[in-house]
Amino acid sequence: MKPLLLPQNRTLRLARPVGRTALLAALFVLILVGAAEFLARQPGVQERLPVPSVGSTRNDFEIKVYLADGILDGDGRIDCLFLGSSVVWRGVNPRLFEAAYQAAGGEALRCFNFALAEITLSDAPVMAEFLIRRYEPRLLVYGLSPRDFSSNVDSGRPTDPANIAWMRYQRGEPDVHGWLIDHLLSYRYYLAVHDWMAPGFQGRLDQRRRTELELAALDGHTPSDEVFDLDGDDPWWRARKVFKDYHTAPGALARLRDLVTLPDRYPATTLVLAEIPLHPTIYTDFLPAADYDAQIAAIEASADAQGVPFLRSAALALPPDGVWKDSIHLNGRGTALFSAWLGEQAARALGAPRAAARPQD
Amino acid sequence: MSITSLTFAGLVLLTLAFYYALPRRAQNFLLLGVSYAFYATWSWWYLLMLWALTLANFWLAQRVRRNGQPRRGALWAGIAVNVAALAVLKYEAFFVPGLRATLDRIGVQTGAGGLDVLLPVGMSFYIVAVISYQADVYRGLIAPADDLVDFAVYLAYFPKLLAGPIERARTFLPKLAAPRVVDDDALQRATALIVVGAVRKIVIADTLFAALPSGLWDAPRQFAAPELAGYLLIYAFALYNDFAGYTGVARGVSALFGIELAENFSAPYFARSLTEFWNRWHITLSHWLRDYIYFPTSRALLRRNPRRDNIPNLIAPPLLTMLVSGLWHGTGWTMLLWGALHGLYLVAERALALWRPAGPPHLQPRWRQTLAIGVVFVLVLLAWVPFRAPEVGAARDYWLGMLDWSDLSRPSYRAFIALLPALWLDWVQVRRGDPLHFLRWSRPVQAALLALALLAVFLFSQADLGAPFVYQGF
């Protein structure tokens, strides 16, 4: 038979057109994917499936995306978002904030706590931009504390979820995996159960469900009824982990500047920096006073330069007993006090903008 | 660069684009260049070692047979060079601590890691290949290679470089000297081999490995007997599909270049005797061991006593062969135990055959064949314990743990689902005698299978289970 592609003396000698089976297979793939996508979009099917994944290893992030997307679909808007580490997740109750904000003369807001345990200032600009682009909030409150600047917790590089494929795609970078996650709901559901044969899958699935219920109850915030036991076994282990040999992480202040300049690109969103309180002993026994003062001065300078309000929690003067879950997290009682204070302060700060003008003004 | 990565696929496609347009001699140069580039992505040190051994073996083989006369001294020198290189790099864990202590005693500071050396990936495979080359030159089965490029390709050919199949020079070099043809059938079979290999590795093996809990091999006593038995079954299929998957991809890629590589697996868990198992599992290594360890040992013993019931000949060849196999796989006592166990299995099988001769397995009644498959499979399973266990004590604990049925906890049924496609692939091979029998099915069925396979490979590769090939580590 006469070769189709190349002369007889060559290595490749194909006598018939190639690729017909491959084309048919591609058609089958399209049919299968289409059917899976159709099923994945049926509410009756979705009810039986776990929260879809966006390719992160973090349950809290994936569930918060799912919940916030649900609010957007239901209420049509999310007015304000809280971002930061676990001190924000534990320390800000969106509903108490909304009430205090309105009581202090602000508008009625619909808020959601998008704080994620252990994220750092290296993640903050990426995460904040993602939230602004996806949810278009009028108000974004970034809660920070000396923990955010500690070289013990900030490696200087964005971590999961700030650097996952889907986030890269959200930022406009070409990423096939990110594209698939963004466009195929069936693929997101697959990613949520991809390790279904691995040991402990059912336990992880149950934990995901519990976290979903917990975070859904108070719009992303999880209160704690624990009370910090100063006489307990090594009560300061967490403080030592974060603040031992404390010094400011390289690049942390630069990342802060990246964060506070975001409103230049997204003027519809107002950014507020809020200092989240830590146990008073942290400030006296763990943090070098000079470093802390220099840090506050640097934050104030960055915020002032951009006209971003910076709310200092020192004025709240929380007591050392009864309001703490542990050395750096507030418990339910502390959260109630702080959230109400934060709502009121935010309303005042935004109702009477500071005199500092933006550089370009 | 893993051979199941997209980068590797890109490298193969790019190479093929030039390869098909070149004459035979230039094709060999291209294969050599690409093979070296591929190896260099692992380490330049590996490449230097490969160059050194290529030159040494090329030169030594010329001396093994000179003017048509074999030279025993040159053969042993060749074998010694290769075994020494492998011993130094593979078994350094045995002697480096002692050497370091000796040097320290005489005041020579070695520094942290100063004596540590790294075994080049794939070296165990190309060393045994080149030893067979030296031996075959000595026996006159092949003339010493006179083309350094072809000889270098024989050692470095990238589809087989990392983990075989272990090719014989007498079958591989003639393929390099002849024009190659990739026609419709070859292209179809090559593609099928690659797809089935990827399914075996990514969909089956990686999933099964991920189903094994941590601590299983280090502390087996914390698991119940049904769990240990179930996970051992999972491990057996994971290991098999990992290596068979690699071999499938390697053979498929090579077939795209018009060079057929030897078959390495043939439904080994359907073997009806231990001897048959070794003709179905890692076939190229088994046959290498048979031809260069087993037969010479047996011949030497039979020369002294040619009787069929020669007891040393009954025991020594299989035991020695399997101990060498254990040593080839690794340095620890666990690998020696694995080899010894298989050696004893073979001795027992030969003794039984002597006592009660039986015909070929395929002529036995069906029930007896099925029973034999079960017995062989259980024996092989038990031997995988020391193969994988970190130390002999852990292997012993694993075996003992499987005897204690006081706790009936069992692994999740989900983990066993990945066994189904593995069994189906082997079943097709056993029933039809051709692992790619489905290429004879109608086009829509083939297309549906291809669609499912591609989707599965894509989805499972996104799960990022990505364990490296086990046999690459040997």
Specify whether B203 is located in the same domain as B165. Answer: no
B40, B159: one domain: yes
Q: What is the pLDDT of residue B466?
A: 45
Residue B148, domain member (yes or no): yes
- Cβ distance of B20 and A194 shorter than 8 Å: no
- For the cut 80, the answer to whether the pLDDT of residue A159 exceeds it is no
Q: What is the pLDDT of residue A357?
A: 37
Residue B18 in any domain: the answer is yes
Predicted pLDDT of residue B195: 95
Residue with structure tokens 């796989």?
Answer: B329
What pLDDT does residue A286 have? 85
Cβ of A11 within 8 Å of Cβ of B183? The answer is: no
Mean pLDDT of chain B: 88
- Mean pLDDT, residues A69-76 taken together: 86
The pLDDT of residue A191 is above 70: yes
Lowest mean pLDDT among A124-138, B85-99, B311-325: B85-99
Query: CA A114, CA A238: separation in Å to the nearest integer?
Result: 23
Minimal C-alpha gap between A201 and chain B (Å): 9
Q: Which of A18, A28, A198 sits opposite B211 (nearest CB)?
A: A198
Domains held by chain B: number: 2
> Residues of chain B with pLDDT > 90: what percent?
61
Mutation for testing the A interface, residue in B237, B455, B457, B458 having most A CBs under 10 Å: B455
Q: pLDDT class for A253, splitting at 50, 70, 90? A: confident
Catalytic residues of B: 329
- Could you tell me if A217 lies within 8 Å of chain B, comparing CB atoms? no
* pLDDT surpasses 50 at A80: yes
Task: Say whether both B250 and B306 belong to one domain.
Answer: yes
Give the Cα separation of B405 and B230 in Å (integer). 13
- In percent, how much of chain B has pLDDT > 70? 92
pLDDT above 60: residue B247: yes
pLDDT band at A31; cut points 50, 70, 90: very high
Residue B446 has its nearest CB partner, among A10, A21, A200, at A21
Residue A4 above 60 pLDDT? no
Q: In this predicted structure, what is the pLDDT of residue A13?
A: 82
Model pLDDT, residue A353:
41
Q: Give residue B95's pLDDT band: very low, low, confident or very high (50, 70, 90).
A: low
pLDDT of B469 above 80: no
CA dihedral A125, A127, A128, A134 (to 10 degrees): 140
pLDDT in tens, B132-165: 999 999 999 999 999 999 999 999 999 999 887 9
Subunit contact B182:A28, Cβ cutoff 8 A: no
Q: What is the reported pLDDT for B4? A: 76
> Among the listed ranges A162-176, A344-358, B38-52, B189-203, which one has the minimum average pLDDT value?
A344-358
Residue A179 contacts B, CB cutoff 8 Å: no
Please tell me the predicted confidence (pLDDT) of residue B107.
67
Q: Which two tokens stand for residue A187?
A: 């693929």
Residue B267: pLDDT band with limits 50, 70, 90:
very high
Residue B424 lies in a domain: yes
Specify if B1 maps to a domain.
Answer: no
Q: Is the pLDDT of residue B459 over 50?
A: yes
Q: What is the pLDDT of residue B289?
A: 95
Q: CB distance A197–B451 less than 8 Å?
A: no
Domain boundary among B138, B153, B180: B180
- The Cα A185–Cα A208 span in angstroms is 18
Q: What is the mean pLDDT of residues A5-9?
A: 51
The answer to whether the Cβ–Cβ distance between B448 and A25 falls below 8 Å is yes
Give yes or no: residues B294 and B415 share one domain.
yes
Is pLDDT above 60 for B208?
yes
B440 touches chain A (CB under 8 A): no
Boundary (domain end) residue, out of B119, B149, B180? B180
0.90 surpassed by complex ipTM: no
Instruction: Show the domain range for B270.
Output: 185-473
- pLDDT of amino acid A3: 47
Flag whether pLDDT at A18 surpasses 80. no
Give the list of residues 6+ apart from residue A272 with CB closer than 8 angstroms, or none: A139, A140, A141, A142, A308, A309, A310, A311, A346, A349, A350
Binary contact (B211, A28; C-beta < 8 A): no
Taking residues A262-276, report their average pLDDT: 93
Please give the Cα distance from B57 to B51 (Å, whole number): 10
Cβ distance of B412 and A201 shorter than 8 Å = yes
CA–CA gap between residue A61 and residue A176 (Å, rounded): 21
Q: In A, which residues are within 8 Å of B258 by CB distance?
A: 11
Q: At B66, phi and psi to the nearest 5? A: -120, 130
Residue A314, chain B, CB below 8 Å: the answer is no
Candidate CATH numbers 3.40.50.1110, 3.40.50.150, 1.20.120.1080, 3.40.190.10; the one for domain A79-161+224-351: 3.40.50.1110
Confidence of residue B474 (pLDDT cuts 50, 70, 90): low
A11 touches chain B (CB under 8 A): yes
The residue from B153, B180, B207 where one domain ends is B180
Residue B337 predicted with pLDDT over 90:
yes
The verdict on B16 and B133 lying in the same domain is yes
> Which residue is closest to B227 within chain A, CA to CA?
A199
Confidence of residue A155 (pLDDT cuts 50, 70, 90): low
Q: Indicate if the pLDDT at residue A319 is higher than 70.
A: yes
Per-residue pLDDT tens digits for B317-327: 999 999 999 98
Higher pLDDT, B112 or B228: B228
* Distances, alpha carbon B59 to alpha carbons B65, B74, B83, B134, B156, in Å: 11, 10, 17, 11, 17
Q: Verify that B158 and B290 share a domain, yes or no.
A: no
- Residue B464's pLDDT band, with cuts at 50, 70 and 90, is low
Residues of A in Cβ contact (< 8 Å) with B27 = 11
Q: Which token pair is B320?
A: 């020695």
Q: Average pLDDT, stretch B15-42?
A: 92
Whether B416 maps to a domain, the answer reads yes
Residues from chain A contacting residue B459 (CB–CB below 8 Å): 190, 194
CA distance A65 to A52: 10
Cβ contacts of B184 on chain A, cutoff 8 Å:
14-16, 18
- The residue-averaged pLDDT of A229-257 equals 82
Asked if residue B147 and residue B16 are part of one domain, the reply reads yes
On whether the CB atoms of residues B210 and A198 are closer than 8 A, the answer is yes
Examine the domain organization and report whether B148 and B15 are in the same domain: yes
Name residue B69's beta-bridge partners: B66
Is pLDDT at A237 greater than 90 in this prediction?
no
A35 touches chain B (CB under 8 A): no
Is the same domain home to B189 and B330?
yes
Any idea where the domains of chain A sit in the sequence? Answer: 79-161+224-351
How many CB atoms within 10 Å of residue B261? 24
Confidence of residue A352 (pLDDT cuts 50, 70, 90): very low
**B299-320 b/e (C-beta count within 10 Å ≥ 16 → b):** eebeeeeeeeeeeebbbbbbbb
pLDDT of residue B319: 94
In a domain, B331, yes or no: yes
CA quadruple B385, B390, B396, B402: dihedral sign: negative
pLDDT (0 to 100) of residue B384: 96
pLDDT of residue A361: 35
My answer on whether B205 and B282 are in the same domain is yes
Q: Is A57 touching B (CB cutoff 8 A)?
A: no
CA distance B366 to B372: 10
Based on the fold, state whether residues B203 and B237 are members of the same structural domain: yes
State the average pLDDT for chain A.
86
| pLDDT over 60 (residue A271) | yes
The pLDDT confidence band at residue A356, using thresholds 50, 70 and 90, is very low
If asked whether residues B32 and B68 sit together in one domain, one would say: yes
